[in-house]
Chain A
Amino acid sequence: MRSKRKIIVTVLVCAGLAALAYFAWLLPFWEFASSDFEVSWDKIFSWAYLKTLLPLGIIIALSAAGIVLTVKLRKALAKADKQTRRFAEIRGSRPNAAAPKQKPAAFMVIRWIVMICSAAVLIFGGLIFGLGVSSLSIPVLSCPWNSEEMTSSSCYYLSHLNELFELPIKNILLFFGSSVLFIILLGRAICAFLCPLGLVQDITDRIRRKTKTEGLAMNDRMYGALKPIKWALVLIFIGLCFAGGNFCNFCPMVAVAPILAGISTSLYVSGFLLIFVLIGSFFKRRLFCTVCPLGTLMGLFHRISLFRVKKDCTACTECGACYEACPMGIKQIYTERSKADVTDANCIMCGECVRCCPEDNALSLTFAGAKIYTSSRIKIMSGYEPFTKESEAAGYDRTDKGTDP
C-alpha cells in the first residue's frame, strides 16, 4: 500500500517536472524589454550592467528570504514539538563559539582556486583570452547562451540533439571528441572542479557553515527518493528537444552565467528553479548535483575516467564519516570491504570523504594511478587542538586541578 503510494507520488512529481519543462516558456520569471547578446568590457563597467544584474539580485534576495523563513519555521516547529523543544533554541541560534575544524588541506584550497578560476574563465574567458578554443566542448553547466564563454558547453547540443545533427560533420566530431576527451580525462571531477553551478552551490554551503546553521541530514531513504527524479531529468534533458521544448528555459544556470556576462536574456522557469537550487543547496550541500542530468550522463563513464577514489579496505573501520560527509550520499564507500576501487557513478571527486576519513591511508583520490590526496589521522586530529582561548575562558587549563576530598 505504502509502496504503491510512493510510486504514484514519484510518477506525479516526474510528470510535473516534465510538464514544467515543456511549458517553461509560458512562465516568465523576468522579461527584458529587448534581448541583448552583446558582451564587452565597456558594457560590464557601465550602469546598464547593474540593470541586467537586477533579476539575479532579485533571485538572490528571494532565496535569502526563503532561507531565513525556512530557518525560522523550523525553529518554530521544533519549539512546538515536545521532544525537540528543549534544544530548539540552541539548534536555531547562531553560536559565537567554533566547533573543532581541521586545518584546510592543500587539495581543498586548490579545488577552490580552480573552481573560481574556471567559473571566471567560463563566464568572462572570451573577453580575456579570445575565442580561439570556443569550438571545444566541456561537459559543464555553464551557460552557452553566453557568447563570450571561452569554450562551449556540451550541455547545449546534448539537450538539442536535433540541432546537433544539422551541423557540419567536422563540428559534430569536434563536439563528441572534446566532450569524450574531457570525460575520460577528468570524469565527474569536472563537477567538483570546473562547473560554475557547483561553485554557486559550494558558496551557499560555505555560508551555511559560517552561520553554523543546521543542514538537512540526508539518509538513504531521501537519496532513494531523488533517484527517479534524477533519471526523469535525464530524459527531459535529452528528449525535450524532440518534443518541441527547450531545456534552456528550464535550466537554472541560464539565470547565472549570461546575466553575469552582461547579457539581458529573458528568464522563464529557470529563474524560479534557481531560487530552489540556492535554498536547497544551502541546506543540503550540492543538492542540484545529486539530480543534475549532465552529471548523471557523465557518471555513466565513471569506469574509464582517470580520477579514482581508492580504498584500503583493511584500514577502514566503517565509521561512516565519509558517508556523512559525502554530498552525493554514496554509501558503498564505507560498506565496501573487498574492492580497492570505490569510484561510483555519482562521485564528483570533491575529496570530502578523504578529508573526513580518520584512518591513515584508508581513502585516497588518485589521478592516473598517482595519489593526490590521502586520508590521515593526524590531519583529522589537527582540528581538535585543545586548550584554545575559549577553553581557557571556560576554566580548563593544563595544570592539574584535582582536589582530594
Chain B
Amino acid sequence: MTVQTREQTREQRQIQRFTNRETQTSAKYLRRLTELTGAPEGIEPFLETLDRIYVRMQGADVPKGTRTIGTYCVMAPQELIYAAGAVPVKLCSGNYTAFSVGDDIAPRDACPLVKAVAGFKQTGLMPVYEDCSLMIVPITCDCKKKIAGMLGGSCEVMTLHIPASRGDSDIDSFVSQLYDTAERLEAVTGQRITYASLAESFRRVGYAQQELSRFIRLKKQDPYLIRGSHAMAIMNAAAYMSAEKWGLALHKVNENLKRRAAAKQTVTSKKLPRILLTGSPIVFPNLKIPLLIEESGGIVAGDETCMGERGMWDPAVITDNSFDGMMRALANRALRPCPCPTFADNTQRIFRLKQLIKENKIQGVIYHVLRGCLVYDFEYRRIEEELGSLGVPVIRLESDYNEEDVEQLRIRIEAFIELIKLRQPAEKRTAVRSGF
C-alpha cells in the first residue's frame, strides 16, 4: 500500500517537474522575445498562441468538435486536411524538456527534434499532441521513419513516402499517395472531401500565403523593418493556428509594417549586420540562435528553414481545375519546389540561398545544424563552397536542445558578427588619419 502511494507520488512529482521545467523554459523564451525591441504591433496573437500551447499547456485553438491532425513536415498537404474538415498542427518539436526525456528513449545519435517528439509521446502531457486524431509523418529521414513507428502505439499514424528525386513518375506516385491520405482523413473525420471543400481549403491556405508573400515582400524592401526572431515566432505560431486565423493576424502585422515602411521607421538606427539563417528547422522554444544573433547586435534578415518562411512560401498552382488537377497541384507543390535535403539532388537550395542573399542584401550566412541531423550536415560543404565563391562568409553552428552550449554559441556568433562589421565600410567612423 505504502509502496504504491510512494510510487504514485513519485510519478506525480515527475509530472510536476516536467510541467514546471517545460513551462518555465517556454515562458523564458517568450519573455526574451517580448523583451527584444522593435516587435511590430499585432504580434500578440502569435505570442499568445505559443503561450497557450507551451506555457498554459492547452490544445490548439480550434472550434469545439473540430479534429486536429498532426503533421511532421511541410510536405504533408494542409489543404487536404482542411478539406476533410480538420485542422492541421505541425508537431515537429523544439522543446528542451521533452528532449531530455526523449534522450533516454531514442538512440544517442538521433536528432534532438525527434528526441523531443519521443519525449512528448512518452510523457503524454502535451494536449496539442494528445488531441490529434491522426498523425501524418512524411518520411524525410531515418529518424522520422523510426519516430513514425514509435508514435504508432497511442495514435493513428500514417506515413508518406518521400521519393529521392522529383521526376514525373515520382509526382504520379505521390498523387496516388495523396488519394490514400484523403481516404484516411475521411475515415478519421467522418467528413467527405468534395470538390467544393477542397477548392475552399485552397482558398483558405491561399489567403494565408497571400499575406505571407506580402510580409516577405515588405521585409525584402527594408531588412530592418522587423527582427528575424519576431518573424520566426510568427512563422512558428502558424504550426498551431488555423490558416485563416493566422492569415488575419498576419494581415494586421503587415498593415503595421507598411506604416513603418512609409514612415521610414526601423527597428534600429544602426546598420546591423544582416544575417541569413538556414539549415535544420528552428522550432519554438529552440529560438536560441536567432535570439543570440539579435542580442549580439546582428539582425536575421533572411530565413530559409522549413518551420520558417520556406515552409509556406510556395503556393499550390492549379493548372487543371478538375478534382484530380487540384490533387496534382498539391503533389507538385509538396515535392518540386521544396529545397529539402532529403532529395538526392538538391542544387535548387543553393539557387534559393543565392536569391535570398541578393534580395535581402545578406552579409553573412549562419548554417544551423541540429546534432545528428545528417541530411543538412551533408549539404553544408557544398553551400560553403558556393557561397564562398560569392564572397559571403558562412559558419556552421551545431547545437543541441539544451542550454549548455549557449555560451559557446554566443562567442562564435559574436565573432562572426564582428567579422562582418569589419568587412563593411565603416559608418560615421572618423577617417584614418594619413599624410603626416
Q: Which of A's residues lie within 8 Å of B, judged by CB?
A: 83-84, 86-87, 90-91, 95-101, 209, 212-215, 217, 219-221, 313-321, 324-325, 334, 337, 352, 356, 358, 377-378, 380-381, 383-388, 390-391, 394, 396, 398, 400-405
Say yes or no: A318 contacts B336, CB within 8 Å. Answer: yes
A-B contact pairs, 18 of them (CB 8 A): A95-B194, A209-B320, A212-B322, A215-B320, A217-B320, A219-B171, A319-B337, A324-B317, A325-B319, A380-B315, A381-B206, A384-B203, A384-B206, A384-B315, A385-B203, A386-B204, A394-B197, A403-B63
Residues of A within 8 A of B199 (CB): 97-100, 390
Determine the distance from Cα of A30 to Cα of B62 in the docked complex, in whole angstroms. 65
Say yes or no: A90 contacts B200, CB within 8 Å. Answer: no
Chain B 277-309 residues near chain A, CB threshold 8 A: none
Which of the residues A314, A315, A319, A398 comes within 8 Å of B332, measured between beta carbons? A319
Residues of B within 8 A of A98 (CB): 199, 321
The interface bits of chain B over 98-117 (1 if a CB of A lies within 8 angstroms of the residue's CB, else 0) are 00000000000000000000
Which of the residues B182, B326, B358 comes within 8 Å of A314, measured between beta carbons? B358
Interface segment, one of B15-23, B156-164, B345-353: B345-353
Chain B 60-104 residues near chain A, CB threshold 8 A: 61-64
Say yes or no: A214 contacts B325, CB within 8 Å. Answer: yes
Residues of A within 8 A of B332 (CB): 319-321, 324
Residues of B within 8 A of A84 (CB): 179
Say yes or no: B63 contacts A402, CB within 8 Å. Answer: yes
Say yes or no: A99 contacts B318, CB within 8 Å. Answer: yes
Determine the distance from Cα of A90 to Cα of B194 in the docked complex, in whole angstroms. 7
Residues of B within 8 A of A91 (CB): 322-324
Say yes or no: B322 contacts A313, CB within 8 Å. Answer: no
Say yes or no: A380 contacts B348, CB within 8 Å. Answer: no
Interface segment, one of B240-248, B361-369, B374-382: B240-248
Residues of A within 8 A of B172 (CB): 217, 219
The smallest beta-carbon distance between A141 and chain B, in angstroms, is 26
CB-based nearest B residue for A324:
B319
Given contacts A84-B179, A396-B244, is CB(A209)–CB(B321) below 8 Å? Answer: yes
Given contacts A87-B179, A358-B315, is CB(A396)–CB(B351) below 8 Å? Answer: no
Q: Which of B's residues lie within 8 Å of A, judged by CB?
A: 58-59, 61-64, 166-169, 171-172, 176, 179, 182-183, 186, 193-197, 199-200, 202-207, 209-210, 213, 244-245, 247-248, 313-315, 317-326, 328-329, 332-333, 336-337, 339, 347-348, 351-352, 354-355, 358
Secondary structure call for the A interface:
loop
Which of the residues A219, A356, A391 comes within 8 Å of B169, measured between beta carbons? A219
The smallest beta-carbon distance between A142 and chain B, in angstroms, is 29
Residues of B within 8 A of A383 (CB): 206, 318
Say yes or no: A405 contacts B318, CB within 8 Å. Answer: no
Which of the residues A96, A97, A317 comes within 8 Å of B348, measured between beta carbons? A317
Say yes or no: B169 contacts A402, CB within 8 Å. Answer: no
Residues of A within 8 A of B336 (CB): 318-320, 334
Say yes or no: A386 contacts B207, CB within 8 Å. Answer: yes
Given contacts A337-B347, A381-B213, A384-B207, is CB(A394)–CB(B196) below 8 Å? Answer: yes
Say yes or no: B195 contacts A390, CB within 8 Å. Answer: no
Residues of A within 8 A of B323 (CB): 87, 90-91, 95, 212, 214
Determine the distance from Cα of A113 to Cα of B285 in the docked complex, in whole angstroms. 56
Residues of A within 8 A of B244 (CB): 386-387, 396, 398
Given contacts A221-B168, A319-B333, A384-B209, is CB(A86)–CB(B200) below 8 Å? Answer: no
Say yes or no: B183 contacts A86, CB within 8 Å. Answer: yes
Given contacts A221-B168, A396-B244, A405-B58, is CB(A99)–CB(B64) below 8 Å? Answer: no
